[in-house]
Chain A
Amino acid sequence: MCLGVPGKVIDVQGSVATVDFWGVRRQVRLDVVDEPVEPGDYILNHVGYAIRRIPTGEIEATLALYEELLARADADLMAADIRGEIQGVGDDRA
């Protein structure tokens, strides 16, 4: 819940963005992010809400941790948390 997950904005419709998380596309709400978000931007997602637009130039450093973890086996606790966020973001199954 605390780590969140960064993703690339593909499309913005009002206060909902379509965001790509390592190939998984999900809807993310933009209600609480404090800067304008456009396609091509990266955002930090927490439970379906963008809380931060990641400044250009900081994207590589932000993604590095996730890429290292996602390369690991499924059994890893931290990687499983991140996968859960990626799979679950904006999913309308309830």
Chain B
Amino acid sequence: MTVRDPGLTELKFRDPGRARALAGTLARVVGDIGRDRVSVMHVCGSHEQAIARFGLRAALPRTLDVIMGPGCPVCITDVPEVDEGVALARQGVRVATYGDMLKVPGTSMSLADAQAEGARVEVVYSVAQAVDAARRSDEPLVFFATGFETTAVATAAAVLQDPPPNFFVLSAHKYIPPVMEIVAEMPETRVEGFLAAGHAATITGWGVFEPLVARHRLPVVVAGFEPLDILAGLVKLAELIRDGRPSVENMFPRCVTKEGNLRAQERLWRVFRPIGGRWRGIAHVPNGNLRLRDEWAHLDARRQFDIDLHRLCDHAPPALVEACLCGDIMAGIKAPTDCGLFGRQCVPGAPVGACMVSSEGTCRIWYQYGGHPELGGYGAVCAR
């Protein structure tokens, strides 16, 4: 059912000796905790890619569960937000967005479906391209802006670069720190600590996690994306759990400082304000959505267009959606393999849920690499 690259076991690693040492330390520290199960969560699609890609779970102690939380920016874009983009496109407005967004299901259709019906939906790699495209024409162009802090700062910079008057922004940007609090507060949660994403923290700085740690007494470790970075981050997190010492530790100092990128933050908050809103499948997240401030109302697609969502509700959503576990998977309560659709009715070519659409979605990643690969590749190196 799950397709795996047969070449995975041939992977080479920069420093197998260090990997073995880290895996050994991790086993010892998790052993010291002395419980049947210790669960930690990361909140980044790139972390999951690296963990699955390099077979890291095979090198982890059996009692340590590393769960992917709501870390896929495409997946957590809520259905009504996709609907807004689809409705605009079907109303004849040019819509530009990141390629990952095309197949994400809305209530009755995705942007790709709208495109197939003749709506003008264009893929861009950068908001800067959308601005350029608007400049070359007099027609209105709406940039459907998705993603976390790292892409939100790019949108903010574009807004501040004096875009042409026919350029508009439909912001579905999300801000990571508040959703970590929501996950920490979920009654079903087993999460005892977070591995925070290095590049989002490059923007926010690691200091942003201090209130979360103080409120929930859960440790947070900022980690990079190299397999060794992730292993080192997990060792530090396990030590903090073992010692009952909730604090923030920065294990990615080559990219992350306590204050973060102040210039980027200044631009981000000059353009956006945080408001509460739903994340697909998760919950209402206070301060989790980024919307344009009133000062930028003239380029806010929500305020400049009459977005008619009612017409989309004429079609009933496909029945399979009812069985989709995306929400529980993103909340870290279920794994893709708990879903009856995974790899059967739900595959990358015909995704039922958003988690199978994006290359950063948990289901898409597990579909390619498997979530618990056999001892091979990295695992073999570490277990030797």
Query: Chain A residues in contact with chain B, CB under 8 A?
Result: 1-4, 29, 31-34, 44, 46-49, 51-52, 54-55, 58, 61-62, 64-65, 68-69, 72-73, 75-78, 80-81, 84-85, 87-94
| Contact flag A32-B360 (CB < 8 Å), given A73-B7, A77-B369 | no
- Across-interface contacts of A2 in B (CB, < 8 A): 44-46, 71, 73, 148, 150, 197, 199-200, 360
Query: Chain B residues in contact with chain A, CB under 8 A?
Result: 5, 7, 11-14, 44-46, 49-50, 53, 71, 73-74, 96, 98-100, 122, 124-130, 132-133, 147-148, 150-151, 153-154, 156-157, 160-161, 197, 199-200, 202-203, 225-227, 254-255, 261-264, 267, 359-360, 364-365, 368-369
- Across-interface contacts of A81 in B (CB, < 8 A): 49, 359-360
CB distance A91 to B125 under 8 Å?
yes
The residue in chain A whose Cβ has the minimal distance to the Cβ of B203 is A51
B68 to chain A, nearest CB (A): 12
- Across-interface contacts of B11 in A (CB, < 8 A): 68
CB distance A3 to B225 under 8 Å?
yes
CB distance A78 to B53 under 8 Å?
yes
CB distance B264 to A34 under 8 Å?
yes
CB distance B46 to A34 under 8 Å?
no
Number of A-B residue pairs having CB atoms within 8 Å of each other in the complex? 154
CB distance A32 to B124 under 8 Å?
no
CA distance A46 to B73 in the complex (A): 14
- Across-interface contacts of A47 in B (CB, < 8 A): 98, 125-127, 147, 150-151, 154
B141 to chain A, nearest CB (A): 9
CB < 8 Å neighbour of A32 from B71, B147, B200, B263: B263
CB distance B128 to A90 under 8 Å?
yes
CB distance A73 to B263 under 8 Å?
no
